Amino acid sequence: MQDDGWFCARTGGSHRHFKHPTKPNPSRMQVTRVGHSHVPPQLRRVNYDMAPLSRPVFIASRADFSGRLWHFAAMARQQAHRGAAPKDNQLFGPRQLPALRAAVHDLCWLLDRGYAAHSATELVGNRHNLTSRQRQALSRCACPAAAAQLRRQRQLDPAGLRGRELWLDGYNVLTVLESALAGGVVLLGRDGCCRDIAGIHRRYRKVNETLPALRLIGETTATWGVTCCRWWLDKPVSNSGRLKTLIHETATAAGWNMTVELVFSPDHVLWETDQIIATSDGVVLDRCRHWVNLARHIIAERIPRARLVDLFLDGGGGPDGVVAEKP
């Protein structure tokens, strides 16, 4: 490697991080080797000139004759889409739906009888031999029947929003719509809410579907006659400030009245307010006063090609998930 021009940029424990001064995009390519001085000749044939952004993550591992392990990683700085995973066609395809529906039926049966959600999910997942992603989907779909009924009773029809303010659980609503636009799996819950299984893991990245999702939210709420949309974003999540700026710019260009607040815990703000909120977070829905199923309305009316997975034979929350109630 050193003969080829690579040099040790830094050392972390037994790992040495090498860079090359002339290879394409050297700042985006990092080669890490576990601390051994010998470089097997076989590894010198690895194509370091590959385009770093040609795929999200590229990892190649080889062992030399002494059993030493080498790791080469090219890390992309950008995430193009939200939600879709390579094996989702297999994990949530037609052949898997009967088993998943049986599993969610078992999970709801346990939740209705007071079992803890985590323990019940593990029990059902082990019984049906589900993957971690399938178990995550089950946990987001299922809830006790009493909780689902209470959430429906608090749900408002969009007609009740005319002339009123709407508070949005920002990341919750936005990531669901981004996943729907990107062709990712969107789950229909027992309470009629649409939920994604993407997750942002304390770091948000703008994707190709971010701007279209913002426009759909703005256009839909404007059609409903909402006077102001107030976004609540998690302050500890990276890039929240950039998303706030993007929301302001998009709203200003379209003439929508939107404000954005960065707080440490949007959940507490949303379940304590008297305002109408938009979210699919079960914890917030169990404590809030009134809410509207914004994400499901947008998916049903504006994203006809969304990959909506319904694991309930009765269609989850009923037609369009809408139960009218006067505030």
Mean of the pLDDT values across residues 3-16? Answer: 69
The answer on pLDDT for 18 being more than 90 is no
26-33 LR contacts (CB < 8 Å, sep 24+): 28/52, 28/53, 28/74, 28/75, 28/76, 28/77, 29/74, 30/73, 30/74, 30/75, 31/1, 31/6, 31/72, 31/73, 32/71, 32/72, 32/73, 33/70, 33/71
Average the pLDDT over 76-96 and give the result: 79
Residue 59: strand, helix, or coil: strand
286-310 confidence digits (pLDDT tens): 999 999 999 999 999 999 999 999 9
Mean pLDDT of the chain: 81
Q: Return the pLDDT at 65.
A: 34
Average pLDDT value for residue range 77-98: 82
> Which of the two residues, 247 and 70, has the higher pLDDT score?
247
Domain boundaries, the chain: 7-75, 145-321
Share of the chain above pLDDT 90, in %: 65
DSSP states of 230-294: EEEEETTSBTHHHHHHHHHHHHHHHT--EEEEEES-HHHHHHH-SSEEE---HHHHTT-S-EE-H
In what order do the strands lie in the sheet containing 29-34? 7-12, 15-19, 29-34, 69-75, 57-63
Tens of pLDDT, residue by residue over 265-279, are 999 999 999 999 999
**pLDDT of residue 103 exceeding 60:** yes
Residue 73 has pLDDT above 90, yes or no: no
Q: What is the pLDDT of residue 2?
A: 66
Question: Which residues, listed in sequence order, are joined to residue 262 by a DSSP beta bridge?
Answer: 233
What pLDDT is stored for residue 57 in this prediction?
Answer: 37
Topology of 145-321 in CATH? Rossmann fold (3.40.50)
- Residue 12 banded pLDDT, cuts 50, 70, 90: low
Mean of pLDDT values over 159-179? 95
Question: What torsion, rounded to 10 degrees, do the Cα atoms 300, 301, 303, 308 define?
Answer: 10
Q: Cα separation of 308 and 185, whole Å? A: 6
Least confident of 18-27, 258-267, 279-288: 18-27
Which pLDDT value is given to residue 85? 79
**Which phi and psi (to 5°) does residue 181 adopt?**
-70, -30
Confidence (pLDDT) at 118 = 94
pLDDT at 191 over 60: yes
The span from the CA of 59 to the CA of 52, in Å, is 11
The structure tokens 């709203």 sit at 251
CA 103 to chain centre: 22
In Å, what is the CA distance from 271 to each residue of 10, 63, 200, 278, 279? 48, 54, 22, 11, 10
Residue with tokens 């044939």: 45
Please write the tens of the pLDDT for every residue from 117-146. Answer: 999 999 999 999 999 999 999 999 999 999
- Higher-confidence residue of 13 and 174: namely 174
With 0.75 as the threshold, say if the pTM is over it: no
pLDDT of residue 6: 72
